[in-house]
């Protein structure tokens, strides 16, 4: 689900489905041949995966693969192939204003301390996205704002917890040594395979879920940005509300109507123990209206 990074050019869950179905429309597409000729799967298997996903009635590749684990290997490669081209740094610093406000810049401004104190910012990020756009933005901003070398900035950024519940592009967390680099390169199978290694379903990445719940339990303020509030994802974030304390919870709710809003409020309260305030605005406006970051 890419709504969180939608302003920076990434596809939404529905757009990713369309992209996957287009790229693997038949066994002779460039995508089917590249992955099928170099992996343990044939071009026909990638096409078969596409046909099943297209007709599954599911808009999310995550939901589909959880129900069809036989397509897990093919699906991870297809996801990586389709997402890597969107790792365009230029779009992080020149986002399309028609796709929402530049909330990465707003976040960077709010984290603006001295270089030595950056890691003391009270921020944790829990994302259902595979991409590293937020990590790359903050890392690059640190380098350019303070004129510090890559290694120093990477070490400092590591002090801000960033949890990918469904895994990430590349097995090694970004920007650790050996990670998948942030660049729109899928020219070789090796590039795509490296990116696919870190993609997981929830049952494969249970430690990430435990850490996400720990962070949510400890938080005083929680803000859901570009989150679809899928019932399964909300239930997976549920914490032990006893002794969790009162929390201020906010969220974007673009596209939700009527009873859907009431249902989100009910399920969120059940999972986190506090009421949520929902807004029909984008990520940036929601952060500003509620002064989430101070």
Average pLDDT, the chain: 93
pLDDT at 203: 56
Kindly indicate the confidence band of residue 204, based on its pLDDT and cuts at 50, 70 and 90: low
- Percentage of the chain with pLDDT > 70? 97
- Lowest mean per-residue pLDDT among 34-38, 65-69, 139-143: 65-69
Mean pLDDT of 264-280: 96
pLDDT at 1: 39
CB pairs under 8 A, 24+ apart, for 18-27? 19/82, 20/50, 20/53, 20/61, 20/78, 20/79, 20/82, 21/50, 21/53, 21/54, 23/78, 23/81, 23/82, 24/49, 24/50, 24/78, 25/50
| pLDDT tens digits for range 80-120 | 999 999 999 999 999 999 999 999 999 999 998 999 999 99
Q: Quick one: DSSP state of residue 175?
A: T
- Lowest mean per-residue pLDDT among 9-18, 45-54, 176-185: 176-185
Residues 6 or more apart whose CB falls under 8 angstroms from that of 153 comprise 139, 142, 143, 146
- Lowest mean per-residue pLDDT among 110-119, 151-160, 194-203, 274-283: 194-203
Kindly indicate the confidence band of residue 265, based on its pLDDT and cuts at 50, 70 and 90: very high
pLDDT at 275: 96
pLDDT at 115: 96
Mean pLDDT of 170-185: 91
pLDDT at 44: 98
Mean pLDDT of 124-152: 96
Tell me the domain boundaries of the chain. 219-290
- Percentage of the chain with pLDDT > 90? 82
């Amino acid at each position: 689900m890419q709504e969180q990074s939608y302003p920076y050019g990434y596809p939404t869950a529905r757009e990713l489905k369309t992209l996957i179905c287009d790229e693997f429309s038949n066994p002779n597409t460039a995508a089917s041949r590249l992955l099928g000729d170099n992996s343990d799967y044939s071009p026909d298997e990638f096409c078969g995966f596409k046909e099943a996903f297209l007709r599954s009635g599911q808009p999310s590749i995550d939901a589909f693969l959880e129900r069809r684990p036989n397509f897990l290997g093919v699906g991870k490669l297809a996801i990586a192939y389709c997402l890597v081209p969107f790792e365009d740094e230029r779009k992080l610093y020149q986002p399309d204003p028609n796709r929402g406000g530049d909330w990465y810049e707003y976040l960077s401004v709010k984290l603006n301390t001295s270089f030595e104190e950056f890691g003391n910012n009270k921020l944790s990020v829990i994302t259902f996205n595979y991409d590293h756009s937020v990590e790359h933005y903050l890392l690059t901003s640190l380098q350019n704002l303070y004129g510090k070398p890559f290694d120093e900035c990477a070490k400092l950024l590591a002090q801000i917890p960033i949890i990918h519940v469904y895994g990430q592009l590349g097995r090694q967390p970004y920007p650790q040594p050996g990670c998948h680099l942030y660049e729109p390169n899928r020219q070789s199978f090796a590039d795509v395979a490296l990116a696919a290694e870190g993609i997981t379903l929830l049952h494969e990445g249970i430690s990430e879920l435990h850490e996400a719940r720990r962070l949510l339990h400890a938080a005083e303020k929680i803000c859901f940005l570009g989150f679809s509030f899928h019932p399964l994802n909300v239930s997976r974030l549920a914490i032990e509300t006893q002794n969790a304390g009162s929390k201020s919870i906010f969220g974007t709710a673009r596209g939700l109507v009527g009873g859907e809003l009431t249902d989100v409020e009910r399920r969120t309260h059940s999972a986190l123990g506090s009421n949520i305030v929902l807004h029909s605005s984008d990520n940036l406006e929601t952060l500003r209206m509620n002064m989430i970051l101070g």
